[in-house]
Amino acid sequence: MNEALQRKNKRLIIILIGAAIGMFGFGFALVPIYRVFCQVTGINGKYYQVDDIQQTIAIDKSRDITVTFVSNNNELLPWEFHANNPVIHLHPGEVKRVSYYAKNKTINEMTVQAIPSIVPGIAAKYLHKTECFCFQQQTFAAGEEMNMPILFHIDPDIPKNIHHITVAYTLFDTKMAVATNIQKVGRVH
């Protein structure tokens, strides 16, 4: 094998190994790319708006939107968990306070985290929450029960074809979920 070829081969192998390492990095880069893409397009029903203070907004009385509140317990979590008013009607811009009832039916203190999911996905970015039990982990003593509030309104800019929104909360046991680095998945307006 002559010198020139050896040099060429060496350069090529460095480029190709570099490309392979780069693609390994790209595999991980897909995680933030996916998150940002979904945040910008708002297609996966995850990234609702978080308002620090409830602002006064013009109420669009001409439209009526039905919101269904759904509850799930992850992996047979032994809690009672349901919306107090599973179906409500409101006008875009109208501020509503609703609540979920939760009860720790075990004999141990438990910490849970509620993870929301909104259908249709595109409606998520028009859902503004000022207050939600899903913002933080909730710690309940054994047998403790509580009504947990949500304060929200729907942006009047919501597309005209959306008449019905489903908001689902799934309750996760934070001990079972190996992770503790729970973060707010919302986006500050």
Partner 1 sequence: MSEIAFQQHDHKPSFFARWFFSTNHKDIGTLYLWFSFAMFIVGGIMAFGIRLELSQPGRVLLDPNQYNEAVTLHGLVMVFGAIMPAFTGLANWMLPLMIGAPDMAFPRMNNWSFWIMPAAVLILLSTLIMPGSAPNFGWTMYAPLSTTYGPPSTAAMILSIHLMGLSSIMGAINIIATILNLRAPGMHWMRMPMFCWGWFITAFLLIAVMPVLAGAVTMMLTDKYFGTSFFNAAGGGDPLLFQHVFWFFGHPEVYIMILPAFGVVSEIIPTFSRKRLFGYHFMVYAIAAIAVMSFIVWAHHMFATGINLGAELFFMYATMIIAVPTGVKVFNWISTMFRGSLTFETPMLFAIGFVIMFTIGGFSGIMLSLAPADQQYHDTYFVVAHFHYVLVAGALFAIFGGVYYWLPKWCGRMYSETLGKLHFWLTLISFNITFFPMHFLGLAGMPRRIPDYALQFANFNKIASIGAFTLGLSQLIFLYAVIKCIRAGKPATSHVWEGAHGLEWTVASPAPHHTFATPPVIIPEEAHE
**Residues at the interface with partner 1 (CB under 8 A):** 1, 5, 8-9, 12-13, 16-17, 19-28, 30-31, 34-35, 41, 43-44, 46, 74-75, 113, 115, 119, 121-122, 170, 172-174, 176-183, 185
What gap in Å lies between CA 162 and CA 33, rounded to an integer? 28
Is there a contact between 50 and 129 (Cβ–Cβ < 8 Å)? yes
CA-CA-CA-CA torsion for 13, 18, 19, 24, nearest 10 degrees? Answer: 130
- First CA to last CA distance, the chain: 64
**61 or 163: whose CB is closer to partner 1?**
163
Q: How far is the CB of 112 from partner 1 (least distance, A)?
A: 9
**23 or 88: whose CB is closer to partner 1?**
23
Residue type, 140: F
What gap in Å lies between CA 33 and CA 25, rounded to an integer? 12
Cis peptide before 78 (omega within 30 of 0): no
Q: How far is the CB of 170 from partner 1 (least distance, A)?
A: 7
Query: Tokens at residue 95, please?
Result: 């501020």
Q: How far is the CB of 28 from partner 1 (least distance, A)?
A: 5
> How distant, in Å, are the alpha carbons of 10, 47, 156 from that of 123?
54, 9, 11
Q: How far is the CB of 123 from partner 1 (least distance, A)?
A: 12
**95 or 162: whose CB is closer to partner 1?**
162
Residues across the chain: 189
**113 or 130: whose CB is closer to partner 1?**
113
**81 or 153: whose CB is closer to partner 1?**
81
Is there a contact between 101 and 81 (Cβ–Cβ < 8 Å)? yes
Q: How far is the CB of 144 from partner 1 (least distance, A)?
A: 20
